[in-house]
Structure 1
Amino acid sequence: MIAPERIGPYRIERLLGYGSFATVWLGHDPTLGARVAIKVLAENWCQDLRVRERFLDEGRLLWRLDHERLVRVHAVGELPDERPYLVMACAEGGSLRDRLATGPIPVAEALRLLAEIAAGVAVLHADGIVHRDLTPGNILFRPDSRPEMPDQVLIADLGLAKALAVASGLTARAGTPGYMAPEQEGPLSTVDARADVFGLGRLGETLLGRSAGDPTEPGVEPAGGFALRDGVPALVARVLRTATARSPADRYPDAAAFAAALARATRAPTRASSFLVRRRGFLFGVLLAAGLAVSAGVAVHRWPDQDSGTVADSTGRITVARPPGWRSAGAGWAGQRGPDGDLEPALLLSPDPDRWADDPAVPGAFVGLSLSLAGSHTPAEYLAEHPHAECAAEPVRNVRLAGVDWLVAAYTGCRGGKPVIVEAVGVGPDRAGLVYAQITPPSDGGAGFVDGFLAGIRVRR
């Protein structure tokens, strides 16, 4: 295949890959001074209006969602021969398929990757989108700008994705054997988020099975006889069996529920309280939807129990009026680092900080302050990244308390976890940063308790 010199204004460097429907080239954007990936519809499909529209649907979806866990689209264009192309962010870290080709991925890293993949798919499901083709080749990596951070995981190739509202009825058979849910086999298939849960389960079997690779290869028995590698928590097998159940009704309802179940199966047996937040709030909202947190392995500083007054984090940048009988803990926002490279400030309050993560009956609150997030997110954007799929969402409200304009979202009726979860995000005064609070109020609390707690938060730069 001869590489074109240019596609639109982009200089082409080399071929990145090709498939039945499209070819992807590595290009250079002269305006941004950066490399981009340019996906061009295959010539033999250009006149097929159905395929052409599906190709453009991918660009429209990615442009509309514009999320850090998805491959971003910068522009859409058309060649002189009328073939459309998508200009996308370049994922220079390769694909999961590439990494698996070099051998098994260490168990701890494989579990982390599976959780990150589930978080990316949860973004799609929260917006009513089903991917339908989750495979190692569609999981890409982008190196993080911070050397100490792992590569970012990106969900790619949404050419087969469809809005859930129109995903039933007469649809073409679409998906990759070995990862495709059984209900995708028929021409009159009804496809919803549970088809992606099946794909997540198959990816888990690929990452964690005794013979890493395509789950249809000899030596991998995903149905019934699936065997985990040494070092994988035993409960993970149950999660993967549920995810890959033949009947959609027997699977987890969506990617967020799968992520929560995976977190329960992999959490460390420790009593230490903590708060899981990776890059830009990674999975914190998803995991707490199931009423749990995962140890981040950071030192925890405790303050003496007091009858009244305020407590502060270890930097003094966050102070909170402590509800009666509550204690505080926290030495930094685990995984969230500021411009100076240090952990950004955070504080956990609860009548029993050690049990808040595990016991649905124990109320509590997490408060974090981030300069980094303030530079990349508005409060509305950050709030949108914390859906709770296993809860009923109440209308978002706006309230100004103690100099902060808070966006507040409450979730009730959560299955298998805290009965009520409240997410609140605002911008601290004097450019102190983005301030985030996650509150699980006591049973006799409610909006009055939440507003009183938010009114007691003070932050400074």
Structure 2
Amino acid sequence: MSDTPARLGRYVVRRRLGSGAFATVWLAYDEQLDSPVAVKVLAENWADDGQVHRRFLEEGRYLRRVESPYVVPVYDAGELSDGRPYLVMAYADQGTLAARYDPSAPGGGTPPTPGQSLAVLRQVGAGLQALHDRGVLHRDVKPANVLFRTVEGSGGVQVRAMLGDLGLGKALDASSRLTMIAGTPSYVAPEQAQAESPDARADQYSLGALAYLLLSGRPAFRFTSLQQAADPAPPEPMPGQPEAVDAVVRRALARDPDDRWPDVTTFVEAVSSAVEQSLGPVDDGPTLPWLPLDPDVTHAGAGPTSSAGRGATSDERAPVGGRAARSASDERAPVGGRAARSASDERASRPRSWPYAAAALVLGAVAATGSFLVARDLASESVPGLAVVTDSSGTLEAQVPGEWTAVTGDDGWRAPQDDTEYAALSVGTARDWTAEASTGHGVFLALMPGSDLPDRMPGHPECDTSAAPYSEGGSQPSRTVVHSGCPGGVTVERVVQVAADRLLWVQVRSPDTATANRVLDSVTTRGI
């Protein structure tokens, strides 16, 4: 069976545009309005996670709050027969800034002119200011989230820049109550990387990093972890730019938010003025397309044929962004070992994002997580009441109470830093065992890229007491913090360095510290 559904709701699906940690985006066709659209669908393996479900819908609500031509519009929302929500948005037929211009990649595209750079900064800045005016933070401004779309005006067809992907977006009035560490290391503001309460100045910092890239032809920072982004050194002077332009961009990239520009609009006006004072007028205003129409980018094409419209409901049974859902019996690991998988199961298996909301939201913060090695073979130790669980690659293993295997995920995950698949394992007493208010128990293990242990560990405001983090040396140094008085008892976070460039993050939620310690002591990695 093809992984491409025939329809999503009333929209005829043409092809997959891309997949991320939380969702898959499809190019579809609105037959009623005779128009191509992009349909973003929550990934199949997150379907039963209430927290992720709500967060997905929040993106649509945030986008609907804003009436700006420079923010991707949401046209519709719906729910598939399996309960997964979807958002119907404008189709960005000219791709992203990351796809059009990446100076760090071979053949990374033609550098934009100063006028083109200012045009995209003005348009993205206008979209960002519109979000802020409506009380919404973006929190992930970066080249991949700058989308381009053809629009028709009095001057003919032009290319417009828009801000998209508010998957990390957050209402400003909520940002002080609950802060989740997220973002892209080379573009995230230090205070956001440190899990402080960000405000609109954090988005300005990200726009400053974008301005540095466009105007200088190279990124301001080359961070690979949020730990590095949390304490950045000032960037080097912008090559090829006058001191006045450099000073304006540097102010947006100030370490202290109080030293930045008052708002995004003021920053964009300042950088525009500095560039034009140095080079003279470079364009006629923000309507200038930042780049010409790109004929190599795939367009929507003709509408679907009548045959494509048949089978209006057969679509939704096809897996979107992942393999077919496993049954409850498939998800339950037998005590003493992982459920056996057939050869056909292995062939059908694909990298999955994890049924673990907290992980996907905090991982960037612990971008230095390490793996924990115990030199013994747990598989040979059969202990009554305990289960040995492993990930599908056999890299990660732990021994847990048998009741913790009610829900198991073992197929790997994609780290937010580089979107590469790494070994991961999640087992728990219920699907929501990682939710803040949950009394469930379980363990999450995930390998990630990183060469240093983090200075800061994930916080747990739902717990009454958090002990000071402690570190251990040796061949595999680690950092651990214990939280007590949690809804389910005790939560322990541990990060261990298992290789020069590899870390393992371990989170255990347990009824008591004794059980948590037994699980921590049993964690094993192989082949790293």
Q: Counterpart in 1 of 2:95?
A: 94
Per-residue CA deviations over 1:390-446 (Å, capped at 9, x if unaligned) read xxxxxxxxxxxxxxxxxxxxxxxxxxxxxxxxxxxxxxxxxxxxxxxxxxxxxxxxx
Partners of 1:263 and 1:213 in 2: how far apart?
19
Q: Counterpart in 1 of 2:259?
A: 250
Higher relative contact order (CA 8 A, sep 6+): 2
Q: Counterpart in 2 of 1:458?
A: none
Q: Counterpart in 2 of 1:226?
A: 236
Q: Counterpart in 2 of 1:292?
A: none
* 8 Å contact kept, 1:59–1:86: yes
1:380-399 equivalences in 2 (<5 Å) = none
- Residue 94 of structure 1: SS of its match in structure 2? coil
* 8 Å contact kept, 2:123–2:286: no
Partners of 1:225 and 1:76 in 2: how far apart?
42
Partners of 1:45 and 1:270 in 2: how far apart?
51
Shift of 1:248: 1.0
Partners of 2:278 and 2:194 in 1: how far apart?
44
Q: Counterpart in 2 of 1:60?
A: 61
Partners of 2:73 and 2:128 in 1: how far apart?
15
1:121-132 equivalences in 2 (<5 Å) = 121-132=128-139
Shift of 1:163: 1.7
Q: Counterpart in 2 of 1:2?
A: 3
Per-residue CA deviations over 1:55-84 (Å, capped at 9, x if unaligned) read 101111222323211111111000111000
* 8 Å contact kept, 1:209–1:227: no
- Residue 58 of structure 1: SS of its match in structure 2? helix
Change (3 A) 1:117 1:15: same
1:194 aligns with 2:201: yes
Shift of 1:225: 4.7
Partners of 1:148 and 1:29 in 2: how far apart?
24
Partners of 1:214 and 1:225 in 2: how far apart?
7
Alignment counterpart, residue 171 of structure 2, candidates 141, 163, 167: 163
Shift of 1:269: 6.4
Q: Counterpart in 1 of 2:26?
A: 25
Change (3 A) 1:271 1:14: closer
Change (3 A) 1:37 1:271: closer
Letter of the structure 2 residue corresponding to residue 202 of structure 1: A
Q: Counterpart in 1 of 2:340?
A: none
Letter of the structure 2 residue corresponding to residue 176 of structure 1: T
* 8 Å contact kept, 1:128–1:164: yes
User: What is the number of equivalent residue pairs in this alignment?
Assistant: 274
Q: Counterpart in 1 of 2:388?
A: none
- Residue 95 of structure 2: SS of its match in structure 1? coil
Partners of 2:96 and 2:79 in 1: how far apart?
27
Partners of 2:91 and 2:164 in 1: how far apart?
11
Partners of 1:216 and 1:203 in 2: how far apart?
14
Alignment counterpart, residue 119 of structure 1, candidates 126, 141, 145: 126
Alignment counterpart, residue 141 of structure 1, candidates 134, 148, 152: 148
Change (3 A) 1:213 1:151: farther
Shift of 1:109: 1.4
1:44-443 equivalences in 2 (<5 Å) = 44-101=45-102, 102-103=108-109, 104-146=111-153, 148=156, 150-187=158-195, 189-211=196-218, 215-216=222-223, 223-230=233-240, 232-268=241-277, 278-279=286-287
Shift of 1:261: 1.5
Partners of 1:66 and 1:41 in 2: how far apart?
24
* 8 Å contact kept, 1:71–1:156: yes
* 8 Å contact kept, 1:117–1:153: yes
Per-residue CA deviations over 1:275-298 (Å, capped at 9, x if unaligned) read 965449xxxxxxxxxxxxxxxxxx
Shift of 1:118: 1.2
- Residue 203 of structure 1: SS of its match in structure 2? helix
* 8 Å contact kept, 2:29–2:36: yes
* 8 Å contact kept, 1:66–1:73: no
TM-score (norm 1): 0.55
Partners of 2:113 and 2:275 in 1: how far apart?
15
Change (3 A) 1:224 1:275: closer
Shift of 1:27: 0.2
Letter of the structure 1 residue corresponding to residue 172 of structure 2: L
Partners of 1:55 and 1:19 in 2: how far apart?
13
Partners of 2:178 and 2:283 in 1: how far apart?
45
- Residue 260 of structure 1: SS of its match in structure 2? helix
* 8 Å contact kept, 2:24–2:42: yes
Letter of the structure 2 residue corresponding to residue 241 of structure 1: R
Partners of 2:87 and 2:267 in 1: how far apart?
31
Change (3 A) 1:30 1:150: closer
Q: Which structure 2 segments of 5+ residues have no match? A: 103-107, 225-231, 289-528
Partners of 1:114 and 1:275 in 2: how far apart?
13
Shift of 1:33: 0.7
Partners of 1:10 and 1:225 in 2: how far apart?
46
Shift of 1:227: 3.8
1:11 aligns with 2:12: yes
Partners of 1:91 and 1:198 in 2: how far apart?
25
Q: Counterpart in 2 of 1:452?
A: none
Shift of 1:223: 4.5
Change (3 A) 1:45 1:263: same
Partners of 2:38 and 2:130 in 1: how far apart?
22
Shift of 1:120: 1.4
- Residue 39 of structure 1: SS of its match in structure 2? strand
* 8 Å contact kept, 1:133–1:180: yes
Shift of 1:36: 0.3
What percent of counterpart residues are identical? Answer: 42
Partners of 1:185 and 1:25 in 2: how far apart?
31
Letter of the structure 1 residue corresponding to residue 171 of structure 2: A
Letter of the structure 1 residue corresponding to residue 64 of structure 2: W
TM-score (norm 2): 0.48
* 8 Å contact kept, 2:220–2:236: no
Letter of the structure 2 residue corresponding to residue 154 of structure 1: M
* 8 Å contact kept, 1:13–1:25: yes
Change (3 A) 1:226 1:96: same
Q: Counterpart in 2 of 1:288?
A: none
Q: Counterpart in 1 of 2:421?
A: none
Per-residue CA deviations over 1:126-179 (Å, capped at 9, x if unaligned) read 222111000101000111214656411111011211221111133221111111
